[in-house]
Structure 1
Amino acid sequence: MSQLKAVLFDLDETLMARGQAVLRLIERMIDDFGPGFGVRDHDEIKRIVQQADGGGYRPKHEMYAELEDRLAWTGAPGWPAFQAYYRRVYPTCAVLEEGTLDVLTYFREKGLKLGLITNGETAVQQKKLDLLGIGQKFDSVVISESAGCKKPDPHIFRLSMSELGVSPNAAWYVGDHPRNDVYGAWCAGLRAVWKSDVHPWDVTLPVIPYGIIRQLTDVIRLYEKRNTAG
């Protein structure tokens, strides 16, 4: 097995606490649009928005259509205006996953290259990175919209490997989604580490994670354990 030369990460729910960011977004929506909502109870509004969001995997125009209906939204801004609002406001709600800076610093001090691969719109994802203050910490950042492909397509992982100048078998990829992150990285030849606190495992996948962590900082202990074991 090749010596580890790079550690790559997913963004949402791996380095960024997306659930917390969505809650911040909901509070902003209540402030900005709440008087037009037919639903008044804030907890119910949160449940509706979280369900419509679908963990970030649902097309945003579908999310908006559901919100307009289920919130009984009088004076809703229309899809183009809401899309612009989402692109402007949501990135400002970004919250770092606990331990993110410690993890990135640790691996950098070990002399490893750092990469990030994320699905999403380039402007939104880049703004998140800038506001979180971590955009400049990576040797390679690959965002699906700009790359023209998205996880779990192995090609997006290979693009990052090419930018880093590292072979796939000398890299780890850390992410929360069993198919997009673990399976996609495995198909590209990387060693896939699954952050297991968000999504249940997909038993249909023909892959076993190289490592399983619960919290992001657990990846340091995994590295030290594997490094000690050679």
Structure 2
Amino acid sequence: MGIVGESGSGKSTIAKCLVGLEEADEGAILIAGTDLLAQPINQRKSHRKLMQVVFQDPNAALNPRHTVGRTVLDVLRANGCERRMLRETALTLLEDVKLDRKFFERFPHELSGGQRQRVCIARALAAKPEILIADEALSALDVSVQRQMLQLFADLREKHNLTILFITHDLRVAAEICDDLIVMKSGQVVVAGAPAGVLEGDLHPYVEELMNAIPGQEWFPVGGKRIAHAEM
């Protein structure tokens, strides 16, 4: 599920409500049919354990004094991984995010921005989430690295059977990875549906505005099929 909109549209607020960093004023948050907001606060924690967040800035998200290995190991320990399996499980998670095992002993300052974000994803996966929330997780990366990360998210979704909530201001990026889109403006959902339905036919004026802001005349999803044409 992709949530798209300009800065201040309410995208990240939804993510914060999901993981309990903010309390929703009204409405419902349904996780597998259960309304999270209708439960006592102490019971919500068990559902929130099913969710992990990958934040926008991997530099701020990683402890500069901890090696990559320790970053992942700490989460595995906290989630009850057997001691004899700790190191091998951590190494396997690094491989899942396309990092060589040699990165286990490295520190964040020795990594590129894309590599740091891969470590953040491995750390999130160490908690065995069912829902992965990617909050502007690609916006700080170069375009070429974004392409690699999009494919990585698609691969991880299949391998780990994940539901991914993909939050971005870039409509093009969301269309490439998401099965469904929600477009927000000023805290309101203005349109929702499958990417083809949102981006083709009679466009909502705000969707058209977002598409016209995309650099380039044409753009294509990972699968190679054209979804939309943007006029500059």
Asked if TM exceeds 0.5, the reply is no
Name whichever structure is richer in strand by fraction. 2
Q: Under a length normalisation based on structure 2, what TM-score does the superposition of the two structures give?
A: 0.29
Which structure would you say has the larger RCO, counting Cα contacts within 8 Å and 6 or more residues apart? 2
Given the two structures, how large is their TM-score scaled by the length of structure 1?
Answer: 0.29
